[in-house]
Amino acid sequence: MLIVQRTYTPKPGKGGLTDLLKMVNKNTIAIGLPEMKVYRKFLGPHGTVVTTQEWESIENYNNSRDIVRQTKEITSIFEKIYPLLDNTHITEILESA
């Protein structure tokens, strides 16, 4: 089992990131991919949001990336997310022990 964790840090004063990521989750589930849990950090840079998704294998995760890129309902939301970010998001892949 793998956990894909992404960390998004918005530019100061930019709001709406959490709501947009929740919309991404809704559309991700609609196309049959695993739920993306959305968390707000309490410590660290203000407004930082972390998402996690569980995957059975790295192959399933890698295959999903092509599916997501071809899904306008998701890519159109990311077009709204990226201008809010201070930097590109950070992706980490964790493996259960």
CATH class of 2-95: alpha beta
Nearest CA-CA partner of 33 in 8, 69, 6: 69
Domain ranges in the chain are: 2-95
Phi/psi region, residue 32 (left: phi>0; alpha: psi -120 to 50; beta: rest), is left
Report pLDDT digits (tens) over 33-65. Answer: 999 999 999 888 889 999 999 999 999 999 999
How many CB atoms are located within 10 Å of the residue 24 CB? 20
Output the pLDDT for position 46.
86
- What would the two tokens of residue 24 be? 């991404």
Report pLDDT digits (tens) over 2-34. Answer: 999 999 999 998 999 999 999 999 999 999 999
Report pLDDT digits (tens) over 60-95. Answer: 999 999 999 999 999 999 999 999 999 999 999 999
Say which DSSP state 10 is in: B
